[in-house]
């Protein structure tokens, strides 16, 4: 049977690996290419790169990072952050990424999902969703709202509706990030994850809040996630990926154990 995937997420700012809390206060913590290689050696099932470079003139640095990573790791990896056009997608794919994650751009122009799926196949297009918990209302019946621009702008879009819409438009996967949980290392938003995962037929990657292996076990079972994104717990070397996988295996959660 299919294994659950453990996916380190590397936030990259102007070519450097970085980490923040609730999308703020980022500090640089190393070289993304070396980190990707190390996680590959540790048994990561996939790698996610997220470009949080603020200035557009430094964005091409990311293409170079993607190219160097593609030469040294032989597992899938996806790239997101600042992808706005079909041409942006083409550039990162040509540099070696398997998947492209669209987030704010998809909210502003949903057709980018359909165009990307047509040009590169659905398996290539990941819908990245940044979500905040809000009061249940007529506009936001699920109580989870989509926010964009790094968590700064509320959109008035219901997260559950948007997940289904993204699937219809041709997204092959959803990366679901809880901004409330991001960087807190206090556990994933399990309720949100199960709500979305049970409502779509495409795989859902849970993101935001991982601090202990138990958190992954929760989101991969109760949360019904197909994959779990991790950042702080491996970037700060609290755990290795193989330690996390050993734990999950002991809990009878199947992950890839040989690499």
Partner 1 sequence: MIAIIDYNAGNITSVARALAALGRDFIITDDTKLLDSATHVIFPGVGAAGEAMDYLRKKELDAWLKSCYHTGKPIMGICLGTQIILNASEENDTQCIGLVSGLTKRFPEQWDAEGARLKIPHMGWNGISLRREHPVFAGLNTASEYYFVHSYYPAPSDKSAVLATTDYGITFCSAIAMKNLVAVQFHPEKSGRPGLQILKNFCDWRGNE
To the nearest whole angstrom, how small is the minimum distance from the Cβ of residue 73 to partner 1?
9
Between residues 75 and 184, which has the closer beta carbon with respect to partner 1? 75
Q: Is residue 198 involved in binding partner 1 (CB under 8 A)?
A: yes
Question: What's the 3-state SS for 133-201?
Answer: ECCCCCCCCCCEEEEECCCCEEEEEEHHHHHHHHHHHCCCEEEEEECCCCCCCCCCCHHHHHHHHCCCC
Count Cα neighbours of 215 within 13 Å in the Cβ-side half-sphere: 23
**The pair of three-digit structure tokens given for residue 132, joined into one six-digit string:** 């905040």
Q: Is residue 89 involved in binding partner 1 (CB under 8 A)?
A: no
Q: Is residue 39 involved in binding partner 1 (CB under 8 A)?
A: no
Between residues 24 and 72, which has the closer beta carbon with respect to partner 1? 72
Structural contact between residues 3 and 45, judged by C-beta atoms closer than 8 angstroms: yes
Please choose, out of 17-25, 29-37, 114-122, 231-239, the segment that lies near partner 1 by the rule CB under 8 A: 114-122
To the nearest whole angstrom, how small is the minimum distance from the Cβ of residue 178 to partner 1?
21
186 is catalytic: no
Between residues 16 and 67, which has the closer beta carbon with respect to partner 1? 67
Q: Is residue 246 involved in binding partner 1 (CB under 8 A)?
A: no
Applying CB under 8 A, among 60, 64, 71, 186 the residue interacting with partner 1 is 71
Q: Which of 130, 158, 182, 218 is catalytic?
A: 130
Applying CB under 8 A, among 12, 202, 220, 234 the residue interacting with partner 1 is 202
Cα separation, 88 vs 69, whole angstroms? 18
Residues β-bridged to residue 230: 8
130 is catalytic: yes
Q: Is residue 87 involved in binding partner 1 (CB under 8 A)?
A: no
To the nearest whole angstrom, how small is the minimum distance from the Cβ of residue 110 to partner 1?
21
Cα separation, 224 vs 159, whole angstroms? 17
Residue corresponding to tokens 């193989």: 242
Please choose, out of 104-112, 178-186, 239-247, 250-258, the segment that lies near partner 1 by the rule CB under 8 A: 250-258
Q: Is residue 191 involved in binding partner 1 (CB under 8 A)?
A: no
Cα separation, 25 vs 29, whole angstroms? 12
Residues β-bridged to residue 228: 6, 206
Phi, psi of 166 (to 5 degrees): -60, -40
Residues sharing a CB contact under 8 Å with residue 185, sequence separation 6 or more, in sequence order: 209, 210, 211, 212, 232, 233
Q: Which residues are marked as active site? A: 11, 130
Contact residues for partner 1, defined by CB under 8 A: 1-5, 40, 45, 70-72, 74-76, 93-94, 96, 98, 120-124, 172-173, 198, 201-203, 224, 226-227, 256-259
């Amino acid at each position: 049977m299919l294994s659950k995937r453990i996916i380190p997420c590397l936030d990259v700012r102007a070519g450097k690996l970085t980490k923040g809390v609730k999308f703020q206060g980022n500090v640089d913590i190393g070289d993304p290419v070396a980190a990707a290689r190390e996680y590959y050696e540790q048994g990561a099932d996939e790698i996610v790169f997220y470009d949080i470079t603020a200035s557009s003139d430094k964005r091409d640095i990311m293409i170079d990072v993607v190219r160097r990573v593609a030469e040294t790791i032989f597992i899938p990896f996806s790239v997101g952050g600042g992808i706005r056009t079909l041409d942006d997608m083409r550039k990162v794919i040509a540099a070696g990424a398997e998947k492209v994650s669209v987030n704010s751009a998809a909210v502003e122009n949903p057709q980018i999902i359909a165009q990307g799926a047509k040009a590169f196949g659905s398996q290539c297009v990941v819908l990245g969703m940044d979500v905040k918990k809000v009061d249940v209302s007529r506009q936001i019946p699920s109580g989870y709202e989509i926010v964009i621009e790094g968590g700064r702008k509320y959109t008035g879009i219901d997260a559950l509706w948007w997940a289904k819409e993204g699937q219809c438009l041709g997204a092959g996967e959803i990366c679901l990030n809880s901004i409330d949980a991001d960087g807190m290392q206090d556990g994933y938003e399990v309720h949100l994850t199960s709500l979305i995962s049970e409502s779509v037929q495409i795989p859902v990657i849970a993101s935001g809040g991982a601090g202990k292996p138990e958190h992954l076990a929760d989101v991969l079972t109760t949360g019904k996630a197909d994959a779990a994104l991790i950042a702080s717990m491996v970037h700060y070397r609290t755990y290795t990926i193989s330690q996390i996988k050993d734990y999950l295996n002991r809990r009878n959660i199947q992950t890839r154990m040989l690499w």
